[in-house]
Amino acid sequence: MATLRQPFNTHLNLGNGVLVPEGVKVVRHLSDMKDMYQDQGAVQRLLDNGDPLIYVVYNVEVPEEAGELRHCTSIVYPGRVGNEFFMTKGHFHSKVGTAEIYLTLRGRGILLMQAQDGRTATLDMFPGSVSYIPPYWAHRSINVGPEPLVFFAVYPGDAGHNYGVIEEKGFAKVVLAQDDAPVVVDNPRYVCRRT
- Please identify which residue in 60, 86, 91, 150 interacts with ligand M6P, judged by CB under 6 A: 91
d(CA 166, CA 132): 20
Note if the bond before 127 is cis, omega within 30 degrees.
no
Q: Which does 95 bind (CB under 5 to 8 A by kind): ligand M6P, Zn ion, none?
A: none
- Please identify which residue in 25, 119, 161, 189 interacts with ligand M6P, judged by CB under 6 A: 161
CB of 62 to ligand M6P, least distance (A): 12
Site string for ligand M6P, 56-75 (x = CB under 6 A): -x--------------x-x-
Nearer to ligand M6P (CB atom), residue 91 or residue 173: 91
| The pairing of beta strand 120-125 with beta strand 19-20 | unpaired
Nearer to Zn ion (CB atom), residue 43 or residue 140: 140
- Please identify which residue in 12, 33, 70, 100 interacts with Zn ion, judged by CB under 5 A: 100
CB of 1 to ligand M6P, least distance (A): 29
Answer yes or no: are the C-beta atoms of 150 and 106 closer than 8 Å. yes
One DSSP character per residue, 62-123 reads --SSTT-EEEEEEEEPP-EETTEE-B---BB-SSTT--EEEEEEES-EEEEEEETTS-EEEE
SS3 (DSSP) at 187: coil
- Please identify which residue in 12, 153, 175, 176 interacts with ligand M6P, judged by CB under 6 A: 153
